[in-house]
Structure 1
Amino acid sequence: MASASSEPQPQPVLVHTTAGTLRGSREDGVAVFRGIPFAEPPVGALRFAAPRPAKGWDGVRPARDFGPPAPQGMDAAGDTQGDDWLTANVWTPEPDPGARRAVMVWIHGGAYMIGTSGLPEYDGARLARDGDVVVVTFNYRIGAEGFAQIEGAPANRGLLDQVAALEWVRDTIGAFGGDPDRVTVFGQSAGGGSVAALLAMPSATGLFRRAVAQSVQGTFFTPELAADIAAECASELGLRPTVTELSTVDPQLLAIAGDAVTARLPESVDRWGPVAYRSVTFAPVVDGDALPVTPWQALADGAGRGIDLLVGHTRDEQRLLSLLDGLLGQVTEEQAEQALRLVAPGPDGARRYRDGFPAASPNELHETVNSDWAFRMPSLHLAQAHHDAGGRAHVYELTWPAPGLGGILGACHGLDVPLVFGNLDRGQPATLIGDSPYPEAEALSARMRAAWTRFAVDGDPGWPAYDAEHRLTQVYGAQPEVTRYPEETSRLLWQHHTFAPLPLLSSPSGSTARPAFEPTPPAR
């Protein structure tokens, strides 16, 4: 009898690690291992605790399926069943311990609230195969589980998970053919912000040699702001933000409470400022311990001076977000003025933006200032701080317009993800490329994949490093070229701005807020 399917069945492949033996599969020309635990499930007694290394196992552990994503709210991606949230996935050309290939470790985005490494757009097969590198993706705690300021718990648990994943890579990746001394972290949006945070974290020192920060999300919170938002999330459930009161709450219910607070954020601009305006509920907390200072301050002080940095953004970051908010092409003069007032730098930022872009419409002003505040200028300032302290940074901007959805989104937020991974026909960002990949998209993707993997291998993406005199930037447009940084007006408007931790402006009563408690430092 003929087989029910003519599809070739993946061939099993074994890897022996110190924790135990894994059975993966050979797919698309590479060996793939999914759902490998790098830390114990953070549930029960470990709920809201710093991650603990995963235990070993006897026999052969199947590694065919992705682990469940961390709990997230109604916008969750993927199946959230199961509590083994902290797992990693590996794509390798050949799991030969003697190969010592460069390793690329991806940190997914999602505003620190949603996302999972198992999304099809993050499939690492093409990047690993074409670049002859080992690709690793992983899950980390997001939302309240990972970033809420909870009494009795360490701050920045999501970042601590990322450090734990990198420690697992250091200790284990050799078995998959990777070189633990040539690790590059790369991430986009909140993943780019995470890469920036790792550059500033003492516990991450020595865990990676290079970093790629794509569209760095520039939101970092003070403990006071984070504590006030956490209190609001807990109050949705009639509780206080303490480990004692929250540790028995269903994680999905806590995520939904976070969604409820997010939906009301625009009403709290006087209390929470720009994060309320931009509906940012969670972000890394500059707690003075796990994250002593902001990434920009850390790099200015010389942290990571020996780390090679590749950083950049898309030209039209805000356009996709405006579409999702129902504002694309619909911004009024009043809405543009509110954006300028809340996020433009300095007390006269609104006037300076209008002077800098005198012919801009309300839509254009709204898009530009929001793109600058959220992603473009945080990315550029990261490169500038690294360069000024003696480090080497390469800068890029993606200007190629997405042809999907009638071409209305330009070079929008997230367009770089399918181009870097080469997954032009799958996952959510594939709608930006169109129903069938255009030849120019394939060509541009090949260029970007080659640059990213070349950077991971030897630190040179193929264009000169950024400096204060020439500001040379790789522009990925219809015809890629190296030129001076294109967003010069925005650069000048923000050149004296300091990306400080975002503060709590007032308590609900209107008085100056004070933190109700201090976070517990993570266990050493």
Structure 2
Amino acid sequence: MASTLDVQLPQGTVRGLRGPAVNRYGAIPYARPPVGALRFRAPEPADWNGLLDATGVGTIAPQRPARLRDVMGDLDGEQSEDCLHLTIWTPAADGAPRPVVVWIHGGAWQSGAGALPWYDGSRLAEEGDVVVVAINYRLGAPGWLCLPGLPANLGLLDQEAALEWVVRHIGAFGGDAGRITVMGQSAGASCIAALCGRQPRFHRAILQSGALGRGFRSLEDAYALGQLFMEAAGAADLEALRALPIERLLDAQQAPSVLSALSAGNYAGPLFTVVADGTVVPRDAQARMADWAGARDVLVGTTRDEMAAFPGYGTDADSRAVGEAAFGAGSRQWADDARRAGRQAWSYRVDFGPTERFGACHCIELPLLFGTLEAFGPAPMLAGADPGHVRDLSARMRAAWLRFIRGGSPGWDPAPAMQIFD
């Protein structure tokens, strides 16, 4: 029988699993389930009390198979709109003020979850003596649909609510609320950029493969796509949309009319993204990016062959040029703007690419960073990799990230210098 370990919070007892070096507390709700009347509403604080069984892994946001499944492999997990949970890995819930890192996953705002074996934080927690938190947030239409009468950027507000929960309660799990680093990849990194423009509840930021130079969607374009989506879902009004089964919403995300509008190039980016709505994110967000970059110290970078993960691209020079425009230039600009604002900033690039097809593609650093190669299993992007080299590179990357999370330099000169991981 697994050994458990309790943590006391003001609202009750959180019961997690005791490990040999790291304890895990899973599926801790940070907000009320966004179902029924709360669908398409801003997150409300969780209201549980008594004993909370946090020995499980929890559900993930409803989603269709990820568009990068042929690169990373399939993800698995029980799906439910009741998904606003977080997972904590801690060396000890002893009140010691350890640095905290909060992981915000990517997935084009439509797939992924913090509660996945891919993002198991136990190795980072053990090796760095830090507390690792991975969060779920609403994906697809429930989190990012934009229509008149609906709050925009609900998934971003979910992330903010999770960070607020961490600030209030992480001390009971052995973390220091005064030393929080947020870490995000792809869509997660873009969300962190937006959070830097609000009232960031963190002290350092790690931005991995974010499209930081492409800005956010205009409110007008978001409304137009939202209307197409509502028509595809067969909803006459917002109340009808709120009452639809989640399967209808997921189907509408892949409706021919919606996909045709996207493929025609009328709307840049994926179906859902951060919207410059004027309330959660300023309408002139693009003009403010330089100021946002100066909000916090940053570790920011990309992979050499970002675009090789996406259909129609590879590891050739033209594909790399597209990746440079989409990911590289904006990431370097973010580091430069942070440095000009008096912040500490470090840049990196991952050149490790074991396959000719995918090279150092988008997401290649994730199994290295978390040390979860077994969880990624037969991911095509890792096919044929030398196990010894992978272990060494993985250890070097984690050590660098952990030095930054603990408040120091990752181990190389500040930007514009760039560390290459290959």
Give the alignment's TM-score, normalised by structure 1. 0.74
Unaligned 5+ segments in structure 2 are: 67-73
Q: Give distance in 2, aligned partners of 1:382 and 1:146.
A: 26
Corresponding residue to 2:187 among 190, 197, 207: 190
Q: Give distance in 2, aligned partners of 1:139 and 1:368.
A: 31
Residues 57 and 115 in structure 2, CA contact (< 8 A), matched pair in contact too: yes
Q: Give distance in 2, aligned partners of 1:211 and 1:296.
A: 19
Shift of residue 32 of structure 1?
0.2
1:65 alignment counterpart: 56
Matched, 1:16 2:13: no
Give 1:319-334 correspondences, 5 Å limit. Answer: 319-321=308-310, 325=311, 327=312
Residues 400 and 411 in structure 1, CA contact (< 8 A), matched pair in contact too: yes
Give 1:369-388 correspondences, 5 Å limit. Answer: 369-388=321-340
CA 1:306–1:155 in structure 2 vs 1: closer, same or farther (change >3 Å)? closer
SS in structure 1 of the partner of residue 183 of structure 2: strand
Shift of residue 267 of structure 1?
4.0
Deviations 1:198-237 (A, max 9, x none): 111x2x33x1000000000345200011111111111112
Amino acid at match of 1:367: S
Residues 94 and 176 in structure 1, CA contact (< 8 A), matched pair in contact too: yes
Q: Give distance in 1, aligned partners of 2:346 and 2:385.
A: 32
Deviations 1:154-203 (A, max 9, x none): 11000000000000000010010000000000011111111111111x2x
2:277 alignment counterpart: 287
Unaligned 5+ segments in structure 1 are: 1-8, 330-362, 478-524
Amino acid at match of 2:281: L
SS in structure 2 of the partner of residue 71 of structure 1: coil
Shift of residue 291 of structure 1?
1.2
Residues 67 and 84 in structure 1, CA contact (< 8 A), matched pair in contact too: no
Residues 308 and 358 in structure 2, CA contact (< 8 A), matched pair in contact too: yes
Corresponding residue to 1:213 among 194, 207, 219: 207
Give 1:29-178 correspondences, 5 Å limit. Answer: 29-58=21-50, 60-75=51-66, 77-97=75-95, 99-178=96-175
Shift of residue 243 of structure 1?
3.0
Matched, 1:318 2:315: no
Matched, 1:475 2:411: no
Give 1:494-513 correspondences, 5 Å limit. Answer: none
Matched, 1:248 2:243: yes
Amino acid at match of 1:23: R
Matched, 1:233 2:232: no
Amino acid at match of 1:310: L
CA 1:313–1:428 in structure 2 vs 1: closer, same or farther (change >3 Å)? farther
Q: Give distance in 2, aligned partners of 1:216 and 1:64.
A: 33
Q: Give distance in 2, aligned partners of 1:257 and 1:373.
A: 31
SS in structure 2 of the partner of residue 458 of structure 1: coil
Q: Give distance in 2, aligned partners of 1:411 and 1:28.
A: 34
Amino acid at match of 2:112: G
1:439 alignment counterpart: 388
Amino acid at match of 1:214: Q
1:421 alignment counterpart: 370
Amino acid at match of 1:252: E
SS in structure 2 of the partner of residue 396 of structure 1: strand
Deviations 1:457-501 (A, max 9, x none): 1142112221xxxx2111112xxxxxxxxxxxxxxxxxxxxxxxx
Shift of residue 250 of structure 1?
1.3
Q: Which moved more, 1:280-289 or 1:251-260?
A: 251-260
SS in structure 2 of the partner of residue 54 of structure 1: coil
Q: Give distance in 2, aligned partners of 1:372 and 1:245.
A: 43
Give the alignment's TM-score, normalised by structure 2. 0.91
CA 1:13–1:196 in structure 2 vs 1: closer, same or farther (change >3 Å)? same
1:495 alignment counterpart: none
Q: Percent identity?
A: 40
CA 1:428–1:211 in structure 2 vs 1: closer, same or farther (change >3 Å)? farther
Give 1:396-415 correspondences, 5 Å limit. Answer: 396-401=348-353, 403=354, 406-415=355-364
Residues 309 and 383 in structure 1, CA contact (< 8 A), matched pair in contact too: yes
CA 1:315–1:81 in structure 2 vs 1: closer, same or farther (change >3 Å)? closer
> Is the radius of gyration larger for structure 1 or structure 2?
1
Deviations 1:403-452 (A, max 9, x none): 2xx44321111011111111122226854334776211111111111111
RMSD (Å) for aligned C-alpha atoms? 2.2
Residues 61 and 79 in structure 2, CA contact (< 8 A), matched pair in contact too: no
Corresponding residue to 2:253 among 258, 262, 271: 258
Q: Give distance in 2, aligned partners of 1:381 and 1:429.
A: 35
Residues 77 and 116 in structure 2, CA contact (< 8 A), matched pair in contact too: no
Count of residue correspondences: 412
Q: Give distance in 2, aligned partners of 1:463 and 1:94.
A: 31
Shift of residue 244 of structure 1?
2.2
SS in structure 2 of the partner of residue 155 of structure 1: coil
Deviations 1:356-396 (A, max 9, x none): xxxxxxx7354123312332222222212222333221110
2:71 alignment counterpart: none
Matched, 1:307 2:296: yes
Amino acid at match of 2:305: D
Q: Give distance in 2, aligned partners of 1:48 and 1:67.
A: 21
CA 1:266–1:145 in structure 2 vs 1: closer, same or farther (change >3 Å)? closer
Residues 147 and 222 in structure 2, CA contact (< 8 A), matched pair in contact too: no
